[in-house]
Amino acid sequence: MKRVQALAREGKLPATRVGRKWLFPRDRVEALLGAKGAAAPAGGVELSARNQLRGRIAGLTLDGLMCEVRLEIGGQELVSIITRRSAERLRLKIGDQVLAVIKSTEVMIGRD
């Protein structure tokens, strides 16, 4: 911890000091590390679901109030049924990179 504080003091790590505490903006630290946040769907909200897979939209089928989203993830296909409104709100298109969030028997779609 002392080393991290020293790097922050030297300006080598993005941080803000508030009283005796150092605050590190997660997105800027992850950017420095070259990491991609796995759990940061719209609005930067973190999710409790740990089963999160990044993939590419291989197909979209809009039918009435529902939308079938076919994802390509590591050579495998995953299908999720979401509302048409959600697909339109996320502006999903074939080829988009998205996040599949699997919780129990549900598969949700998220986008950075």
pLDDT in tens, the chain (112 residues): 677 788 888 888 888 888 878 888 877 776 776 655 444 444 555 766 677 888 999 999 999 999 999 999 888 899 999 999 999 999 999 999 998 888 777 777 888 7
Sign of the four-CA dihedral 74, 77, 81, 83: positive
Q: Cα–Cα distances in Å, from 106 out to 42, 48, 101, 102, 109? A: 18, 14, 8, 6, 10
Q: What is the pLDDT of residue 38?
A: 44
Query: Residue 62's pLDDT is what?
Result: 95
Q: What is the pLDDT of residue 58?
A: 97
Strand pairing category for 97-103 and 51-63: antiparallel
Model pTM? Answer: 0.54
Q: What are phi and psi of 103, to 5 degrees?
A: -130, 115
What pLDDT is attached to residue 34?
A: 62
Range of the domain at 7: 2-35
DSSP state of 48: S
Say whether both 69 and 95 belong to one domain. yes
Do both 50 and 75 map to the same domain?
A: yes
Residue 52 shares a structural domain with residue 98:
yes
Q: How many domains does the chain contain in total?
A: 2
Assign 66 to helix, strand or coil: strand
Sign of CA dihedral 71, 67, 50, 104: negative
CA distance 87 to 66: 9
Same domain, 62 and 105: yes
